[in-house]
Amino acid sequence: MRNVLFFGDSNTYGFDPESRAAGTGERFPADVRWCGVAAHELGSSWHVIEEGLNGRTTVHEDPYRLTTHLSGGALLPTLLKSHLPLDAVVIMLGTNDLKPVYSLGRAHLARGMAVLAEAVREFPWPSCAPCPQILLVSPPSLTDAATCGLLAEFDARSIALSKQLADAYAGVAELEGCDFLDAGKVAKVGDFDGVHLDATGHHALGLAVATKLREMAVR
């Protein structure tokens, strides 16, 4: 059995903005979420662990959300400890880092992901559970719909920066010795809010991640 941890934000959680708006729920079913799609595709020889949280960033706390610790860096070591042994860790974060409240540029966005990769590498892995492989995933770009509404959390600069994440994260992956997947090449955010994957996007991403993990497993 191979154990893989999927660590991410609302798109890993499977947030469904249309259901939230309609008052019928807020999360896609487990078999629709990309983590569930990947689990089905990988089969029974893999154990998929979902750790998605709405609003999660790489290493930053959101001053507008005081009830939840949203820094991925603050929680990741705890999750590594609680879920070991792990064969792979998949990290897809960065969308929330694009919010104007953080005022980050490309270099700082890249640094946030690098810190997470380093957190996995530098964790005190026991001899019976060595350091897992790391797959860094750049999230799909935002669209203009993400800036709509009085309480919109993104702006035009966020959209522009979101289109730079793939190149930035590819560079981080090379420097940190990690594998890399550009989610934007296989999936797009939905039209409803320009931030979150729809069911089609979840399916496509789940298949792509499963394929990548299989490739990594034979090395």
pLDDT in tens, 68-91: 889 999 999 999 999 999 999 999
pLDDT of residue 21: 86
Report, as ranges of residue numbers, the positions in the chain whose pLDDT lies below 70: 150-151, 219
Only one residue has tokens 């089905």, namely 40
In DSSP terms, 6 is beta-bridged to: 50, 90
The per-residue pLDDT for 213 is 98
Class for the domain spanning 2-217: alpha beta
90 close to 139: Cβ distance less than 8 angstroms = no
pTM attached to this predicted model: 0.97
pLDDT digits (tens, 9 = 90+) for 181-199: 999 999 999 999 999 999 9
Give DSSP secondary structure letters for 46-84: EEEEEEE-TT-BSS---TT--SS--BHHHHHHHHHHHH-
Size (the chain), residues: 219
Q: What integer pLDDT is reported at residue 151 of this predicted model?
A: 64
pLDDT of 150: 63
Q: Where are the domains of the chain?
A: 2-217
